[in-house]
Amino acid sequence: MTHTRTLALLLALATPMTAGAEVIGTTVPLQGLTAADIATALPAGPEREVWLAWLARSEAAMARDKAVLTQERDALAAAGQSVPAPPPEGNSSATMPLDRDAEWYGGAEARSVADNIVSFQTPAGGWGKNQDRTGAPRAPGQGYTPSIGKDSRYAAQDGAGGWNFVGTLDNDATIRELAFLARVQEQLPGATGDAYRQSFERGVRYMLAAEMPGGGWPQVWPLQGLYHDALTLNDNMLVGTAELLQQVGSGSAPYAFVSADLRAEAAAAAVRAVDVLLELQVEVDGQPTIWAQQYDPLTRRPVPARNYEMIALSTGESAPVLAFLMRQDRSDPRIARAVDAGARWYADHAISDRAWRRVSESGGRQLVPEAAAAPLWARFYSIETGQPIFGDRDLTIHDDVNAISLERRNGYGWFNSSGAKVARDHAAWAAGQ
């Protein structure tokens, strides 16, 4: 089954440039998933119909989200009142701690955060990202996220301005809100905790509704378009979602309150997520390597995201995937093969005697020789060559990080130490066999 969008992207990446040139390829931006894409990729039949129905549910969910906000704002206008300012941005995870003593979650501070969470849940059931949850609850007409009414890039899509990440699993959004609500409700049996339990169940059903046919999730749902519609691993999104659903499915504390039917649905979605991860491990010449950041939802082939995030193997995303797989049923031979191959790939692709650091104000961050430096791994490696590659905002792809713009060199994590943790985790995992 050939998907024309993905084929074009791969051809663009593989197109050779002049030998020795600074630019080795160009990324073609990904467009959003459409009914035409589904019809092109899938023959007429049940699978195509399932995908078309999923896409239609996404469109209907976004229409409902927008309609509710529009109704609230129309009511404000009729009463001569102005639209409230967007909610404050912030580090969502920091304002929803999950490591406090159990009793803290029944107190006033945690209740205040939980009330904020419940109030900002979208009609579809999810939450936005990068929001300070210690703020006031949502007022009628206020945007569901800090971007609504603020980010003009998306103004044409919604008529309200900034319809951006309105319901997402990116940056731990929705996942973190659900984990926090579960801890609060556990301390509040009876009617005082009902609102939190109801919000939690709506959030889990949001996850299940957003799940793609066959497993996996887009970065944003209802679908927003562009690369946000891709099947996403970026920022630990698929792993984080799968872990929460596993916990819900287990029925263990603090998730024991979830109904048996919903626990079963959550557990089944988590199983599909593991299967998807095993399917998505990129093979080169028949050998498993690691994972890409995102994939075409229909062909399951790697695709790009932002302009400087080209089709590539991604170490930052693959290390958490391997750690997650090591926590799964080790008797499954598929898991053993995936884990061993991934660890071997990291061992084979370490960068030695190099440091990634700022050399000067004008020179910015550069990869420089440094004897006995700790091993590094590039964020991205070419699937075709196995060598590090680097992208820039102008969609160009480079094989030398020092050749990209100063702004991108300073503003992105092109190198990491993820392989060191993979090696430690794999040694402990192997010793437990």
Query: Of 79, 227, 224, 84, nearest to 144 (Cα)?
Result: 84
For residue 154, the model assigns a pLDDT of: 46
What is the average per-residue pLDDT within 360-380?
A: 96
Local structure of 305: helix, strand or coil:
coil
pLDDT in tens, 44-65: 999 999 999 999 999 999 999 9
pTM: 0.92
Say yes or no to pLDDT of 14 above 90.
Answer: no
CA distance 136 to 17: 54
Query: Are β-strands 380-381 and 390-391 bridged in parallel, bridged antiparallel, or unpaired?
Result: unpaired
What are the tokens at 272?
């599909």
pLDDT tens per residue, range 68-127: 999 999 999 999 999 999 999 999 999 999 999 999 999 999 999 999 999 999 999 999
For the chain, the 3-state helix, strand and coil shares in percent, each to the nearest 5, are 50, 10, 40
The encoded tokens of residue 21 equal 């040139």
Average confidence (pLDDT) over 268-276: 98
Alpha carbon distance 32, 51 (integer Å): 14
Q: Is residue 282 pLDDT above 60, yes or no?
A: yes
Return the structure tokens found at 33. 């998933």
pLDDT at residue number 22? 77
Judged by average pLDDT, the poorest of 146-150, 183-187, 388-392 is: 146-150
**Residue 156 clears pLDDT 50, i.e. is over it:** no
Q: Look at residue 78 in the predicted model and tell me its pLDDT.
A: 98
Cα torsion angle, 240, 245, 251, 255, sign: positive
CA distance 300 to 230: 9
Q: What is the DSSP string of 182-246?
A: HHHHHT--SGGGHHHHHHHHHHHHHHHHHSPTTS--BSBSS--SGGGGSEE-GGGHHHHHHHHHH
Predicted pLDDT of residue 105: 98
Instruction: Identify the H or E element spanning 406.
Output: helix 406-410
What's residue 2's pLDDT? 35
Specify the pLDDT at position 97: 98
Q: What φ, ψ does residue 95 adopt, rounded to 5°?
A: -90, 0
**Locus of tokens 């990116």:** 170
Q: In whole angstroms, what is the distance from residue 242 CA to residue 216 CA? A: 9
Please determine, for residue 10, whether its predicted confidence score (pLDDT) is greater than 60. Answer: no
> What per-residue confidence (pLDDT) applies to 148?
84
Task: Tell me what pLDDT residue 18 has.
Answer: 36
Worst-scoring range by mean pLDDT, 142-151, 155-164, 194-203?
155-164
Statement: residue 380 has pLDDT above 50: yes
Averaged pLDDT, 162-184: 95
- Which of 116, 133, 138, 171 does the annotation list as catalytic? 171
Our answer to whether residue 176 is catalytic in this structure is no
Q: What is the mean pLDDT of residues 13-41?
A: 77
pLDDT given for residue 429 in this prediction? 97
- Compute the mean pLDDT over every residue in the chain, rounded to the nearest whole number: 92
Q: Which residues contact 268 (CB under 8 A, 6 or more apart)?
A: 249
pLDDT above 90 (res 160): no
Look at residue 403 and give its three-state secondary structure: helix
298-323 confidence digits (pLDDT tens): 999 999 999 999 999 999 999 999 99
Residue 229 confidence (pLDDT): 97
Tokens at 325, concatenated: 């797989």
162: confidence class by pLDDT, cuts 50, 70, 90: confident
DSSP characters over 331-374: T-HHHHHHHHHHHHHHHHT-B-SEEEEEEETTTEEEEEE-TTPP
According to the model, what pLDDT value does residue 17 have? 39
What domains does the chain contain, in order, with CATH numbers? 26-30+298-433 (1.50.10.20), 80-280 (1.50.10.20)
Given phi > 0 = left and psi -120 to 50 = alpha, else beta, which region is 66?
A: alpha
> What burial class does residue 373 get, using C-beta atoms within 10 Å of its C-beta: 0-12 exposed, 13-18 middle, 19+ buried?
middle
Going by C-beta distance under 8 Å and a sequence separation of 6 or more, which residues neighbour residue 178? Answer: 200, 203, 204, 244
Q: DSSP letter for 396, please.
A: E
pLDDT of 163: 87
DSSP labels, 35-92 = HHHHHHHS-TTHHHHHHHHHHHHHHHHHHHHHHHHHHHHHHHHHTT-PPPPPPPB--H
Farthest-apart Cα atoms in the chain, separation: 70
Question: Of these residues, 57, 300, 306, 334, which one is catalytic?
Answer: 306
Check pLDDT > 70 for residue 4: no
Average pLDDT over residues 157-175: 82
Cβ neighbourhood burial of 117 (10 Å; 0-12, 13-18, 19+): buried
d(CA 318, CA 335): 14
The reported pLDDT for the residue numbered 357 is 95
To 5 degrees, how large is the angle CA 196–CA 266–CA 273?
Answer: 130
Range 315-352 burial, b when 16+ CB lie within 10 A, else e: bbbbbbbbbbbbebeeeeebbbebbebbbebbeebebe
Is 306 noted as a catalytic residue in this protein?
Answer: yes
Banded model confidence at residue 159, pLDDT cuts 50, 70, 90: very low
pLDDT band of 152, cuts 50, 70, 90 = low
Dump pLDDT digits (tens) for 110-149. Answer: 999 999 999 999 999 999 999 999 999 999 999 999 988 6
Determine the pLDDT at residue 167: 97
Q: Is the pLDDT of residue 155 over 80?
A: no
Instruction: Quote the percentage of the chain above a pLDDT of 90.
Output: 90
Q: What is the mean pLDDT of residues 241-251?
A: 98
Residue 25's pLDDT is what? 96
